Amino acid sequence: MQVRGHFILSKKYCDTPFQTTCGGQALIEGIMMQGPEKRCIVVRRPDGTTECTVEAIPPKKKIWTVPFLRGLAGFIGSMSYGVKALMHSAEVAGDDEMADEEPTKFDLWLEKRFSTEKAISIALTVSMIVGLAFSVGLFILLPSALTGLIGLVWKTIPLWVRSVIEGVLKVAIFLCYLILCSRMKEMKRVFSYHGAEHKTIFCYENGLELTIENVRPQPRHHPRCGTSFLFVVIMASIFFSIAIFTPLQIENTFLRMGLHLLLLPLIVGITWEFNRYVGRHSNALCRALRAPGHWMQNFTTNEPDDSMIEVAIEALKQVIPEKKGSDRW
């Protein structure tokens, strides 16, 4: 496990007797787990106890189960509930600090004009939109704008070269962002909870009892991680840039940025299906396709302590369906 890259293509870390659709998200001093029927948030309070919140997942409309559309629906749903879970964990984990904080002008404005429930809903929606806009702007639009500046200096640059440079910038910015986050003191514990989530899922998929002793030796890199999904989205956007912009001779920077935005739902849908396929198979090709995303997890996962594993176990136990095998990937 300590040798970076060695395990990535190894069948030992890809094959499990069972592959589950249960997954989660690391939070501030906690973990959110989601199964086919329920979601659960477990957060450790400042006094060392844990708070567990469980809610049922409403059934999906039939249209959102159609291939490619289900990927877009899943992505939006994950973003929406992920922001909600993150804000909840911040409140629970920082009870004392939150109680002493003065409400912002925006908070007071919301409270004055809307009910508490409506105000929270608006705040969550704004947070999700801002987070999505930041991600799209940083990883998709900024590289396109920078290559546009290169085109102003190098006027005879071939379009395929411009697309390749844009792709290199996307990967470089994404990598720098992950490395910067992994160096932040506050994020190190979040990434440790991320590692606990992966280890607990692996333990469950291997058919072992969910105990700290069984979870601890499991790998912290998982083939169906959200980090891998985001990386594949970026790689897919690079492919579409080269495959579409070059043959159509699209040079205008703002037009390219607009097309990136229009293509994003399609790219998310295709990427979701791609990850679903390679996550289900463990042949040499699929393991090779998963390798870059696995490597990225060196920055987004850390080894957890036993208290973090305890939180992950508690969260996963709450969402495992009663009908055995109904959560098969």
* Six token digits for residue 48: 């060392």
Tokens found for residue 119? 């105000």
* Cβ–Cβ < 8 Å for 163, 245: yes
Residue 54: per-residue pLDDT:
95
217, pLDDT greater than 90: yes
Burial class (CB in 10 A: 0-12, 13-18, 19+), 135: middle
Under 8 Å between Cβ of 207 and 250: no
Average pLDDT of the segment spanning 219-225: 89
Identify residue 301 by its one-letter amino acid code: T
Max Cα distance, the chain (Å): 64
Predicted pLDDT at 122: 64
C-alpha pair distances (Å), 320 with each of 25, 191, 230, 237: 16, 23, 26, 35
Tokens for 166, please give them.
Answer: 């844009």
**Alpha-carbon gap, residue 161 to 256, rounded angstroms:** 15
* Other Cβ atoms closer than 10 A to 108: 11
Instruction: Write a three-state SS string for 236-249.
Output: HHHHHHHHHHCCCC
The yes-or-no verdict on residue 120 having pLDDT over 60 is: no
6-13: long-range contacts, CB 8 A cutoff, minimum separation 24: 7/219, 7/221, 7/294, 8/221, 8/287, 8/290, 8/291, 8/294, 8/295, 9/284, 9/287, 9/288, 9/291, 10/287, 11/282, 11/287, 13/219, 13/221, 13/223
Looking at the DSSP assignment, which residues form a beta bridge with residue 52? 42
Range among 17-26, 122-131, 272-281 rated most confident? 17-26
pLDDT band at 229 (very low <50, low <70, confident <90, very high): confident
More confident residue, 169 or 116: 169
- For position 199, what pLDDT does the model report? 96
Confidence of residue 29 (pLDDT cuts 50, 70, 90): very high
For position 98, what pLDDT does the model report?
Answer: 44
Contacts of 317 (CB under 8 A, 6+ apart): 210
C-alpha to C-alpha distance for 213 and 166, rounded to whole angstroms: 46
Radius of gyration for the chain, computed over Cα atoms and rounded to the nearest angstrom: 21
Structure tokens belonging to residue 9: 């293509």
List, for residues 232-253, the tens digit of each pLDDT value.
888 888 888 888 888 888 889 9
Q: Is pLDDT above 70 for 61?
A: yes
Nearest-10 Cα torsion for 302, 307, 310, 316 = -40
Q: For residues 105 and 86, what is the distance between their CA atoms, to the nearest angstrom?
A: 22
The pLDDT tens digits for 166-214 are: 999 999 999 999 899 888 888 999 999 999 999 999 999 999 999 999 9
Concatenate the DSSP letters of all residues of 199-229 into one string.
Answer: HHHHHHHTT----HHHHTTS-S--TT-HHHH
Residue type, 227: T
Confidence of residue 28 (pLDDT cuts 50, 70, 90): very high
Top-confidence residue, 196 or 264: 196
Q: Please report the pLDDT score of residue 10 as a whole number.
A: 46
Percent of the chain with pLDDT over 90: 38
Q: What is the pTM of this model?
A: 0.83
